[in-house]
Amino acid sequence: MKQKWNRLLLSNRLVLLVLVAAATSAALLRAGTAGGAAAAGAGGDDWKKPGFCGRMDCPRYTAWQKSPDFQIREYDEASWVATNVSSTHYELAVKAAVPRLLEYFYGLNVEGLRMKETVPLLIYYRTDVHPHAGMRNFSVAMYLPYNYQGQPPEPNSTDVWIYRSPKSPLAVRMFQHRAREARVLDEAAALVDALEHAGHTDYESNVLMVASYNHPMKHHPHRRRYRHSEVWMRGDFKPEGRDGAGAVPADTAGAAATAGAAHV
């Protein structure tokens, strides 16, 4: 009887050990999978977010060329939620677009998911249309969080859509002011001058992208020194910083050029 009891006790201990081992393996597997997904969404362990992103998720890029006046960056593929707005003024277009995009982030999507806010807010518009020419078309987009880059929920509203921007090179100029249109156009002109001076001649200056890393609906005058904005231009750039054949075609570089959806 005693031997039978010992065998039963030993058998129970073995079963318990197997269950513990299985549970531990499953936990490690889940942790590894989650960590891998987060790393993939964040761009991998070889990339660190720039300081102007703060604690928010932001698109990954590789800086090909850096100078005091501009950078040439190659941005990875990325998912955005976007909307189109017709308005007489740049600032009014942004104010109309942001609530639509935030509604998507706050749960107005088919899965009812609430997502944390990201940076930047990206505004696309044509610079070859005079600012006082009347109604103009703008496309405004917000970067999607890392966790939803692969499979973002579809919007409930027909006014917004999901766009997957391709891997593409961009010329970037940074400035520490609010992204008002007058300032944006000044910075765009400075970017063109810097590109020309550096020998870059194949760029597209009639379509401008403005990246705002500060919430456009929240103003903090006492935190002015923390503002960060950028103007982006697409072009035929190469890693070594010289224009030439073989670079990504210009018409693949802008998230506004969604199949019939955007009008900029």
Q: What is the mean pLDDT of residues 79-103?
A: 96
Top-confidence residue, 98 or 37: 98
Average pLDDT, the chain: 77
From residue 61, alpha-carbon distances to 40, 49, 104, 150, 168 in Å are 13, 9, 25, 17, 9
The gap from C-alpha 17 to its chain's centroid, in whole angstroms, comes to 46
Decide yes or no: CATH 3.90.950.10 for domain 51-252. Answer: no
- CB-CB contact of 250 with 244 (8 Å): no
Pick left, alpha or beta for residue 152 (phi over 0 → left; psi -120 to 50 → alpha; otherwise beta): beta
Looking at residue 63, its pLDDT comes to: 95
Q: What is the mean pLDDT of residues 37-62?
A: 76
pLDDT at residue 240 tops 60: yes
167-195 per-position pLDDT tens digit: 999 999 999 978 888 999 999 999 999 99
Tell me which residue of 164, 174, 163 sits closest to 232, measured CA to CA.
Answer: 174
Looking at residue 216, its pLDDT comes to: 60
pLDDT at residue 38 tops 50: no
pTM (2 d.p.): 0.73
Domain extent listing, the chain: 1-44, 51-252
Assigned token pair, 59 = 């698109």
Rounded CA gap, 192 and 211, in Å?
Answer: 17
97-126 per-position pLDDT tens digit: 999 999 999 999 999 999 999 999 999 988
- Which residue, chain included where needed, has tokens 């940074």? 174
pLDDT at residue 18 tops 50: no
